[in-house]
Amino acid sequence: MTGAPYLEVFKALSAETMLVVTAFIALTADLVSLRRKDRVERYRGVGTITIIGLLAAIIPLWGQLSSEPVSLLGGTLVTGELVALFKLVIVGLTVITALISMDFDLGRHVGEYFATMLFGAIGMMLLVSTEELITIFVALELTSISLYILTAFHKGELRSQEAAVKYFMFGAISSAFLLFGLSYLYGVTGTTNLRVMQQAAGSSSSSLLSAGLLFVIVGLGFKVAVVPFHLWAPDAYEGAPTPVTAFIATGSKVASFFVLLKVMMIGFAGMEGSAYWCNFAPGWTMLLAVVATLSMVLGNCAAIVQRNVKRLLAYSSIAHAGYILIGLIAATQMGAASVLFYVIVYALTNLGAFGVVAALSSRAGGDNMENFNGMARRAPFLSLLMLVFILSLAGIPPLGGFFGKFYLFAAAIQRDAQTFGLLWLVIIGILMSAVSLYYYLILMKHLYVIAPSETTRISTPAYVNGTLALVALGVILLGLFPEPILALLNRLVVRL
């Protein structure tokens, strides 16, 4: 790799660089000047620094949004519109997470908290911008390790520790699987670049490659939390501090699905097999079809019996991962666009939902469903926002979740509009949506129908309300006017 284009690399990584600098500024500022201040002030201070840094990182990304795709260092680093768009999404999600965190007491390590969050965000951004196996692995580890630490941040609470340990154990094992699988791929194809691998794999059909594929699916399946690799998710979601849960459920999901999409559709192009009903053929669409079915059925059915809101959302997010896979199984341009669209909607919606839970649970004394009884009377505005988020998750129009789901299912049917080979997945998805409506409505029943045990009004800071309102507005607009972003994604995935 002689004569590496350092200037180009630096330009491509300018946003990440800014975040690294911000993380250190946040650490230093907290250490030097804020340490003796009141805890609330420290959270606000460091949080503001973090948010300013993130907002500043938007500037270079905005510039890349209109740049031609470039591949540097043999695919280690790629830029272009799609990459920039998803980096922007991740930055946006991190900003909102930071805003929610400012209202949440996570102990005295304020600077460390925000810095770790920024490192996690950097990992996700790198993950989005690479087409090379080693870098994918490294970025995935950077993300995961940051998230393990964040999960454990509630130092006083046992369930936070338990969650972190579980998350770490499962995560470490999944990383091992992934690395093992990647080594097979390298062994067969002799390359770590996804695009080169596609060509090399096309000529050889070895069973080693299939084994590699299987391990990669297992490894990435852990990261996106699909059945049967989901076991960490409910505990981690429930135990982690709620803003962290929001970050795990949104930012890391976006990045992981993006990389899953890339690995499957670029690296394993030509190994799709078939997931058509009664016409199965081995390949990754068939494997993912099994995983998707299990996720939708198990995620939704297990969510019914949950009494803890965060746990319920964890199972619901497993189910949603199943829906998203339907778009991926379609393995078409429309399918890829639908996956990316849904991931954005899903992340925004879940972030909003966890944001409301974070804001309310700390004031209502817990995050069990009973704690939310009669919230519509105690905190009408946030309850209304929660209604929007939950109905979007349930797929009720005119919210983003509805259109996203519609587009996923449409992509699956479009794949084979003659014999409707993928219709069976769509039918499962739709019927499971009906199941999901049940538990979402049970949750809303606690907020809207059941009378509260105490009637004191809950007041939340204006910036939290404002942020969440903006998120809700985004969810509504994505549902009402999906065309611009849809057209953009459809244009961009052509180059995928």
Partner 1 sequence: MQVDWSIYISFIGVGLILLLPRDSKTLIRWVALLTGVASLLVALRGYFAYNAAVNDLIAATGQGFVHVVNRPWIPSLGISYHLAMDGINYPLVVLNGFVCVTGILFSWNIEERVKEFFAFFLTLIAGVYGVFMAMDLFLLFVFYELAIIPKYFIISIWGSTRKEYGAMKLVLYSFVGSALVFIGILAAFFAAGGTTFNILELASKHSFSRDLQIWVFPLIFVGFGVLAGMWPFHTWAPTGHVAAPTAASMLLAGVVMKLGSYGCFRAAMLLFPEGLAYWKWWIAWLAVIGIVYGAAVALVQKDFKFIIGYSSVSHMGFVLLGLATLNVIGMSGAILQMFSHGIVASLLFAVVGRMVYDRTHTRQLDELGGLAKVLPFACVTFVIGGAASMGMPGFSGFVAEIQVLIGAFGMSPWLVVGAGIGIIITVAYILNAIHKVFFAEEEHGGAGDSHGHGQGETGASRWSVSPISLPEKVAAVILMSLLVIIGVYPPIMLNMIKANVELFLRGAQ
Q: Could you list the residues that contact partner 1 (CB under 8 A)?
A: 376, 380, 391, 396-398, 402, 406, 409-410, 413-414, 417, 420, 423, 426-427, 430-431, 433-434, 437-438, 441, 444-445, 448-449, 482-483, 486-487, 490
Nearer to partner 1, 31 or 427 (CB): 427
Nearer to partner 1, 277 or 406 (CB): 406
Shortest distance in whole angstroms from residue 474 CB to partner 1: 17
Shortest distance in whole angstroms from residue 479 CB to partner 1: 9
Whole-angstrom Cα distance, residue 148 to residue 253?
15
Shortest distance in whole angstroms from residue 343 CB to partner 1: 19
Shortest distance in whole angstroms from residue 393 CB to partner 1: 13
61-64 contacts, C-beta under 8 A, 24 or more apart = 61/15, 61/87, 61/88, 61/91, 62/88, 64/12, 64/15
Other CB atoms within 10 A of residue 305 CB: 10
Nearer to partner 1, 229 or 409 (CB): 409
Nearer to partner 1, 76 or 338 (CB): 338
| CA distances in angstroms from 115 to 93, 101, 181, 251, listed in the order given | 15, 13, 32, 16
Whole-angstrom Cα distance, residue 68 to residue 91?
21
Nearer to partner 1, 68 or 483 (CB): 483
Nearer to partner 1, 155 or 445 (CB): 445
Shortest distance in whole angstroms from residue 378 CB to partner 1: 13
Q: Classify residue 226 by its DSSP letter.
A: -
Shortest distance in whole angstroms from residue 427 CB to partner 1: 6
Shortest distance in whole angstroms from residue 398 CB to partner 1: 6
Nearer to partner 1, 139 or 489 (CB): 489
Shortest distance in whole angstroms from residue 88 CB to partner 1: 22
Contact between 225 and 321 (Cβ < 8 Å): yes
β-bridge pairing 70-72 and 274-276: unpaired
Nearer to partner 1, 196 or 437 (CB): 437
Nearer to partner 1, 167 or 439 (CB): 439
Beta-bridged to residue 308, according to DSSP, are: 368
Nearer to partner 1, 286 or 410 (CB): 410
Kindly report the backbone phi and psi dihedral angles of residue 71, in degrees, each rounded to the nearest multiple of 5, phi listed first: -120, 120
Q: Classify residue 30 by its DSSP letter.
A: I
Tokens of 13: 């990584």
Contact between 405 and 327 (Cβ < 8 Å): no
Shortest distance in whole angstroms from residue 4 CB to partner 1: 40
Where b means 16+ CB within 10 Å and e means fewer, 309-346 reads bbbbbbbbbbbbbbbbbbbbbbbbbbbbbbbbbbbbbb
Tokens of 384: 């209304």
Whole-angstrom Cα distance, residue 241 to residue 96?
15
Other CB atoms within 10 A of residue 296 CB: 29
Kindly report the backbone phi and psi dihedral angles of residue 421, in degrees, each rounded to the nearest multiple of 5, phi listed first: -65, -30
Shortest distance in whole angstroms from residue 472 CB to partner 1: 14
Nearer to partner 1, 40 or 487 (CB): 487
Contact between 86 and 254 (Cβ < 8 Å): yes
Shortest distance in whole angstroms from residue 441 CB to partner 1: 6
SS3 57: helix
